[in-house]
Structure 1
Amino acid sequence: MSNALAKDRLRKRFARWDVDGNGLLELEDFKQEAARIAAGFGATPDSPGVQALHGAFEALYTHLAEQSGSSAQAGISEQSFLQVTEQLLFAEGEAAFNRALSPVVKALVTLSDSDGDGMLNASEFEAWLSGIGLPRTEAAETFRKIDENGDGQLSEDELLRVVREYHYGRLDVELLG
């Protein structure tokens, strides 16, 4: 695993989430990111999936702020974000990463899962990519690549694994936009 690649991806994640570009991650940035994704899905703000997405992003922000030692009002600097997320990825391990990101993945599954079975088929996965603002052009190939058990369905656990592997720098499939 390349720590430099992982750090580069975390810097890009910081820039993506720093919606207002002021060099700090703030709760409002996370709220705006959730709203952007909800709009990408065409979901109404009061739908359960959108509410879950907002709650997940707010909880993630609160967790990152607490872990960085920043107050929720002060925001999180890029350096603090890198320290906290590197700790999460490389020191605390898979279980800690899953606790932090699982609610976001679960909310995205809820928004994408048109048949309500808790799993994503190929067309629902394509909707996920579109909803987060990624091109659908490689959706089928990407789906096959990450459907490791070949059952034609992606579980929350499979999707969380892909998000984790991307941030570890071991997989080139970005699922958070």
Structure 2
Amino acid sequence: MANPQDVGDLLERKIDVCFGHVDVDGDGVFEEADVMALAARMIAYQNVPFDAPEAQALFRSFQEFVRNIARELDLTSGQISPEQWRKGMIGRFGENPALFDKVFRPLAAAIWRLCDRDGDGKVDAEEFLCFQKAVGSSPENRQIAFERLDLNGDGSLSVEEILSAYKDYYTSRDPHAPGNWLYGDVWDADIWDGTKVKL
């Protein structure tokens, strides 16, 4: 497992890794088709019917999310390059936690409502690992992510804990923030090939 190396590049590194997850078709741009495919994968891996209320809510949240991103980044093409994603995510959201909450929290809440299949307010290891599989994390990084975020070792994550981790991941430059581990070991030298996440 790697350790933090260049703290100054940490947020950029996390945003780059995230781009590799959201560019579902691997064509080098992030667009609405990618997020809808990602939503469908999340729903399928959680074994939730596509017509279930939480599944439909996730589709709507992803559509609204990508439109908000395009508006905040002042994009008209509907496609976002890795460079636009990095610059916009850090410049618009990484430095503005209130805006992050406005745009990201509804999506994150919809994701974790889907993952919390039994409705107990917590996401257990199986539910979390299904989410990780859907976004393309490696088996090793799925396990690392869960272990790092399960701070009290009780085998589950509260939805609020995950929402907090989500915010850490996308906005924090603190190398010790628990949310840095949302998708596993982002310091792993082999996780990023310069254009996308290596799966």
* TM-score (normalizing by structure 1): 0.77
Cα distance in 2 for partners of 1:68, 1:33 equals 21
Cα distance in 1 for partners of 2:31, 2:65 equals 11
The total of aligned residue pairs comes to 174
**Residue equivalent to 1:44:** 49
Query: Sequence identity, in percent?
Result: 27
Choose between structure 1 and 2 for higher RCO, CA contacts under 8 A separated by at least 6 residues.
Answer: 2
RMSD of aligned C-alpha atoms?
A: 3.0
Runs of 5+ consecutive residues of structure 1 not aligned to the other structure: none
Measured after TM superposition, the shift of residue 125 of structure 1 is 3.6
Measured after TM superposition, the shift of residue 156 of structure 1 is 2.7
**Residue equivalent to 1:75:** 79
Select between 125-134 and 43-52 the one with higher mean Cα deviation.
125-134
Runs of 5+ consecutive residues of structure 2 not aligned to the other structure: 1-5, 185-196
**Residue equivalent to 1:112:** 115
Measured after TM superposition, the shift of residue 86 of structure 1 is 0.3
Counterpart selection for 1:33 from 38, 44, 57:
38
Counterpart selection for 1:62 from 58, 61, 67:
67
Instruction: Report if aligned partners of 2:30, 2:79 keep a CA contact under 8 Å in 1.
Output: yes
**Counterparts of residues 1-177 of structure 1 (less than 5 Å):** 2-71=7-76, 73-93=77-97, 95-134=98-137, 143=146, 145-148=148-151, 154-167=157-170, 168=172, 170=175, 171-174=180-183
Q: Which has the higher helix share?
A: 1
Instruction: Report if aligned partners of 1:142, 1:173 keep a CA contact under 8 Å in 2.
Output: yes
- Per-residue CA shift, 1:116-138, capped at 9, x if unaligned? 13333455444444554546668
1:114 partner amino acid: R
- Per-residue CA shift, 1:94-151, capped at 9, x if unaligned? x322222222322222222232133334554444445545466687875564345777
Instruction: Report if aligned partners of 2:169, 2:182 keep a CA contact under 8 Å in 1.
Output: yes
